[in-house]
Structure 1
Amino acid sequence: MASCLLTTNSWGQSAPTKQQLERWHKQFPAADTNRDGILSSEEATAYRKKMLATRSKQSDNDRSARGAPRQFKIDAGWDLPRFPDESVCYKTPTQIKAIYEDVKPANQDTIVSFPEPTGRERRIVATGHSFMAPGFNTLPKICKAAGIQPMLYTHTGGGITGSARYKWEQENGIFQFEGSPVPKLLASISNANWDAMMFGPYFNDKPEYYSCWIDFCLKFNPDMKFYLSDAWPQLYQLGENPASESFFTEEVFDRLGMERRSMSNEVIDVLRKRYPDKVFVLPTSDAMVLAGKAYLQGDLPGIDGVHRVIGGKQRSLWKDQLGHLGPGFERLEGYVFYATLYGESPERIEAPITFGGDPSFPTTKLDQTFRKIAWQAVTKHPYSGVKDEDGDGISDNHQQHGNQSTGQTDAK
């Protein structure tokens, strides 16, 4: 393999020599697809593409089997009292706009903004990864059915590249991105009006990874609120995978959920103290714990298992070692986002929601169960900012004043 058919950096810049082709033919006889005893440049190219695609797929499968890395190097600059002077966050809105104008994709607006809300709309920016992506996809569809114009602008990535810390470094052009800023959100935050920001969590999070975003947002939009997802229980919490799904009991789900909340609160408690009445939780973890218990009770029609990695069932709550959501649960996450952000139970949405995909799954009954679970998770979480003591499906402290949702306060 080291003879460079699969590894050469110059491939594609010049045609391989006759000697190279002869050497590769000896090492990779399968590349000679027409079996004429001569490896052509075209055959070598086709074989290389095939093998690299296989390698990539195997690498993806290996990452999925291992789970996300939980130990990684963090730049020492995070321990300093101030970011490097060249950080984009210290520049003026006009300067930030100009920086992004130079590096943005051709089809991307330099500044994204939304009109002043006339009803229940909220202008939202967000970072996140693949755990947030299902909700980012379904939330706008839920909003439309609820009569709310969706106003969501995201800068996302996969795994660690979607974390708040990574995106801050990337947007500011600091540390691992020194000299290469991509201020996609910073440009719009500093040049337009916003009401809220959402984040997805990541391993080894610190309050500082969020406070930098919060401070920047409040500088330009002092009334903004901030929402952190707390993800959900993952297999790594168990140390090793259980032999069968019989391991998962209601008590196990409760324990995993409490562990998950404790981990999240190490960051969230600090932020809530630092920014009173500003920081809230999107309780996706509680929602998935409730879903797990509902499955054990036979209340999730169409769901066949807890974890595809353990039980092998396609329609499970989770689908891989990393802990990505199984089919249909993108709706549950979207409902949790909706309930927290807009202070209303998704059970109150009467219009059909156009999710797309298989119209037979989830069933109407399962979808209604997801809506109920979402509202229960949100109203029972002490950090969601949403209460419903009178049971009308509308947050008791989510009062509308003009076009601003100003009544949301911490649940006590």
Structure 2
Amino acid sequence: MKTKWFIFLFCLCSFMGLALAQQRTSETDPRFKRFLAQYPKADKNKDGILTAAEWRAYQAETIGPNSTQPNRTGARIQKTLIHKPDKAEFAKFIEMGKNSAQRGPLSFEKGNGLRIVMTGHSWVAPGRNKLIEIAGAAGYTGHRQRVHGGGGSTGAANAIWLKEFGKWNEDTPPAPILLPAIATGEWDVMTWGCYYDDLPEYYTQWIDFCLENNPEMRFYIQDGWPRHLPSYKEKQPDEVMASLEADHKYLQKTIDELLYTRLKEKYPGKVHMIPAGEAVMKMIRLYHEGKLPEFDCIDENRGRAGKRGIYRDGGHLSRTSGIEQLAGYMYFGMLYRRSPETIVDYVPEGIPERVDKIMRRVAWEAIVESPYAGIDDENQDGLAD
């Protein structure tokens, strides 16, 4: 009797849970409220309320059946708190940053290179790190970088903003690393790496503060690339490519298009996307077509599937194949508005010359072909028009 009663209660709870899940809307679930703000087109009937059914339909329409991108949990969900400090709080943390241990000078005199403040997570690190050497090789001896980064969601644009003011969590003290630097008015560029469920507001808080102190600043957001999932080992190469292309399309639509369109309206000509995802996909396509014999896989799976791939672990770029250099070329091309193919007498260590030439070409192609990069090269001289 007890067993039957337990089964009845289990079934009842399961049914109620399913029913509640079906009733989730932007008015009852904070996540759906966030989804509605980020993806207004998902509200099919335009009643201002996003339902679970509308969200599923929107995912199917924009992502396709092969995509796994929406299934995001755990560390991939970022903190959504918006912190709006007043002038007194700004002044407090700017002063705190001046008096604390610093990561290099707060400002630099203008030279022949760019002075860049940067945030970002581990997917941004390759481009950020490689850019220093590449800019130097191109003759920009005045190139400067100041960084406040993190890992995963802690490196997202909003997370770094919260950490600067000590609002990330109760156990983390304030870390005003970029605020006091930006306040000097001696910086040219700011960059971020996009993250899951990003909203334009996560960037406007930075941009408004930057422009108040540095009116000529430009801003760049690095996009992402699709993950190579463990389940792909059971698929045929063409099926894997179809899944990667579907996820890439999703990322472009819900990150590049969303952020670029919204921010372009508010800051015309100021904000651009670094289309790293398209550059990575171009390399994957070349491998799939048999045009990259120097590579032995798409994903090394930490050395278990290959030694020279595009990815080292299904997400991060490989360190052994030299593909991280591609990200550096993307940053160089976007920020300096010239093709990495124009850099002479530069041979990056450990990268075959043929692969290096391909990555330089691919980087510039991805940039000039992107509707979100803001760079054209109609005369094909390797310099932005």
Q: Do Structure 1 and Structure 2 share a fold, with TM-score over 0.5?
A: yes
Number of equivalent positions: 310
Q: Which residue of 1 aligns with 2:251?
A: 260
Counterpart check, 1:132 vs 2:124: yes
TM-score (norm 1): 0.69
Residue 126 (structure 1) shift = 0.7
Residue 254 (structure 1) shift = 3.4
CA contact (8 A) 1:127 1:155 kept: yes
Post-superposition CA distance 1:225-247 (Å, at most 9, x none): 110011111246x9x54514624
Q: Which residue of 2 aligns with 1:303?
A: 295
| 2:339 pairs with one of 316, 327, 345 | 345
Which runs of at least 4 in structure 1 moved beyond 6 Å after TM superposition?
none
Q: Structure 1 residues 166, 373: CA separation in 2 closer, same or farther (over 3 Å shift)?
A: same
Q: Which residue of 1 aligns with 2:219?
A: 226
Q: Structure 1 residues 269, 87: CA separation in 2 closer, same or farther (over 3 Å shift)?
A: farther
Q: 1:192, 1:130 → 2: CA distance? A: 28
Q: Which residue of 2 aligns with 1:269?
A: 261
CA contact (8 A) 2:164 2:179 kept: yes
Counterpart check, 1:98 vs 2:90: no
Counterpart check, 1:214 vs 2:219: no
Residue 248 (structure 1) shift = 5.1
Q: Which residue of 1 aligns with 2:363?
A: 374
CA contact (8 A) 2:131 2:329 kept: yes
CA contact (8 A) 2:186 2:214 kept: yes
Matched position secondary structure for 2:197:
coil
Residue 298 (structure 1) shift = 2.2
Q: Structure 1 residues 86, 343: CA separation in 2 closer, same or farther (over 3 Å shift)?
A: closer
Post-superposition CA distance 1:15-66 (Å, at most 9, x none): xxxxxxxxxxxxxxxxxxxxxxxxxxxxxxxxxxxxxxxxxxxxxxxxxxx9
Q: Structure 1 residues 158, 276: CA separation in 2 closer, same or farther (over 3 Å shift)?
A: same
Q: Which residue of 2 aligns with 1:160?
A: 153
Q: Structure 1 residues 244, 283: CA separation in 2 closer, same or farther (over 3 Å shift)?
A: same
Post-superposition CA distance 1:269-327 (Å, at most 9, x none): 21121211111010100101111111112222311111123971121111114x00013
Q: Which residue of 2 aligns with 1:26?
A: none
| 2:177 pairs with one of 165, 175, 184 | 184
CA contact (8 A) 1:245 1:307 kept: no
Q: 2:73, 2:121 → 1: CA distance? A: 12
Matched position secondary structure for 2:298:
strand
Residue 125 (structure 1) shift = 0.7
Of structures 1 and 2, the larger Rg is shown by 1
Q: 1:206, 1:145 → 2: CA distance? A: 36
| 1:69 pairs with one of 60, 74, 89 | 74
Q: 1:339, 1:382 → 2: CA distance? A: 15
Q: Which residue of 2 aligns with 1:389?
A: 378
1:224 partner letter: M
Matched position secondary structure for 1:376:
helix
TM-score (norm 2): 0.74
1:199 partner letter: W
Q: Which residue of 2 aligns with 1:319?
A: 312
CA contact (8 A) 1:378 1:384 kept: yes
Q: Any stretches of 5+ residues in structure 1 without a counterpart?
A: 1-65, 397-412
Residue 206 (structure 1) shift = 1.1
Q: Which residue of 1 aligns with 2:84?
A: 83
Q: 1:87, 1:228 → 2: CA distance? A: 29
Please report the RMSD computed on the Cα atoms of aligned residues, expressed in angstroms: 2.6
Q: 1:363, 1:245 → 2: CA distance? A: 29
Q: 2:171, 2:332 → 1: CA distance? A: 37
Post-superposition CA distance 1:356-394 (Å, at most 9, x none): 4xx3xx200001000010010001001111111111111
CA contact (8 A) 1:70 1:204 kept: no
Q: 1:294, 1:205 → 2: CA distance? A: 30
Q: Structure 1 residues 175, 304: CA separation in 2 closer, same or farther (over 3 Å shift)?
A: closer
CA contact (8 A) 1:198 1:227 kept: yes
Percent of aligned pairs with the same amino acid:
32
Residue 83 (structure 1) shift = 2.0
CA contact (8 A) 1:201 1:231 kept: yes
Residue 339 (structure 1) shift = 0.7
